[in-house]
Amino acid sequence: MIILDKPYVSPLLEQTIVEHDIPVLINDQTLSLTQRDRMKILDENLFFQIYQESDAPLLYTNSENAIRPIFEHLRGSQLESTTRLLKNKALFREKTATLYPELTYLETDRNALKDLKPADLPFPFVIKPSVGFFSMGVYRVDDEQEWQEVIDKIEDELERVRDLYPSYVLGTEKFLIEDCIEGDEFAVDAYYDRNGRPVILNILKHLFASSKDTSDRVYFTGAKVIQEWLEPFERELDKIGRTFNLKGYPVHIEFRAQKNGRIYPIELNPLRFAGWCSTDIAYEAFGINPYEFYLFGKKPDWPNVLRGKEHNLYSVTVCEISHTVDRNRIRTVDFDRFLSLYRHLLELRKIDYRQYPVFAFVFSETDQMTDLKKILTEDLTQYLVLDNN
């Protein structure tokens, strides 16, 4: 069973729903869908009645916007309480403290940030909304001078995005201050089967332009990434799954892997895979339909999947629009010129940039890391055609 909501439903997810006649709840009736008339759409009460009467049903949401009816209809259930716990980054840290006792963190009210004494702060640190999404409001702070600047940036950013997501997706009142965990960052789509065993569907390495970069611009995967990190991440997922008693549950989790071999979870996003349509890179790269694999209990045969792809790099570019750009002035995007950056385009997903600060998601293939690094540092505003007034 699937709950759909804004901001975006991928064509692959729509096609999966139609092909398998999967029951669907549409949480926002203004949601743009190309195959709505071919879907088995249920009203909210009937959807949850069927869910509760089913034997160990599996549930997937394309977006954390879709969590609201779960909180309302399944109040007091293990699914509801677990999802609330996982969504809150401070509670996640508290629950996993015995697994990662060396990590320190502090939760505080947004209004109290300016009153914190720099001498009491663990520089360097990362600050983020306790309930967050899409790297919004996330900053690394190295010293006292930056701290004062970041407080202003947080206020400015949250004011700009306050109407984009509901409070249970992006909270603005509580913030988490935690250790700055060094190391390579990875994003992992996985699910826990009915016995609680983790099944990894994809591993993406997150590229950063600098130590200060917290954006989501470029992620990539490939045979070497999967082969090196599959077993280590399975072990971490197993520990986390046992802690939260996760069974029949999809997750998107971010890890930091240090040179000494220690792996730390940065955050875990409940009941979904990578945001918007990013998880579809598994299909573009390896032919793995993440929605289908989860809902039907399928597991990747990684040795066969990766055969013949040893030197390929598959990436997803999140084409965010700088906050310095007035999106109302964007007349169009010069996609012809922009797409010339890519050696081999797999798919382009255009986004309504007037509604969201993103103009596209791009899936691509290359065998050169330099291609990805160029995209990582490219000024994307040059591809926006703006009105002069």
Tens digit of each residue's pLDDT (9 = 90 or more) over 212-262: 776 889 999 999 999 999 999 999 999 999 999 999 999 999 999 999 999
Mean pLDDT over residues 271-280, rounded? 95
Beta pairing class for 40-41 and 2-4: unpaired
164-174 mean pLDDT: 58
Superfamily of domain 184-386: ATP-grasp fold, B domain (3.30.470.20)
pLDDT at position 163, please? 58
Residue, of 38 and 173, whose pLDDT is higher: 38
Q: For residue 307, what pLDDT is reported? A: 96
pLDDT confidence tier of residue 207, bands split at 50, 70 and 90: very high
φ and ψ at residue 4, rounded to 5 degrees: -110, 145
Instruction: Kindly tell me if the per-residue pLDDT of 263 is higher than 70.
Output: yes
Question: What is the per-residue pLDDT for 236?
Answer: 98
pLDDT at 118: 79
pLDDT mean over 10-38: 96
Encode pLDDT of 127-149 as tens digits: 887 765 555 678 888 888 888 88
How would CATH label the architecture of 104-179?
2-Layer Sandwich (3.30)
pLDDT of the residue at 133: 52
Q: What is the pLDDT of residue 237?
A: 98
Q: Which of 192-196, 289-293, 352-356 has the lowest mean pLDDT?
A: 352-356
Res 102 pLDDT > 70? yes
75-96 confidence digits (pLDDT tens): 999 999 999 999 888 899 999 9
Burial of residue 305 (number of CB atoms within 10 Å: 0-12, 13-18, 19+):
middle
40-41 β-sheet, strand order: 40-41, 23-26, 2-4, 60-61
Which one has a higher pLDDT value, 114 or 333?
A: 333
- Per-residue pLDDT at 18 exceeds 80: yes
Percent of the chain residues topping a pLDDT of 70: 94
Higher-confidence residue of 311 and 111: namely: 311
Does residue 56 register a pLDDT over 90?
no
Calculate the average pLDDT of the chain: 91
pLDDT score at 151: 80
Residue 65: band (very low, low, confident or very high) from pLDDT cuts 50, 70, 90: confident
With 90 as the cut, is the pLDDT of residue 319 above it? yes
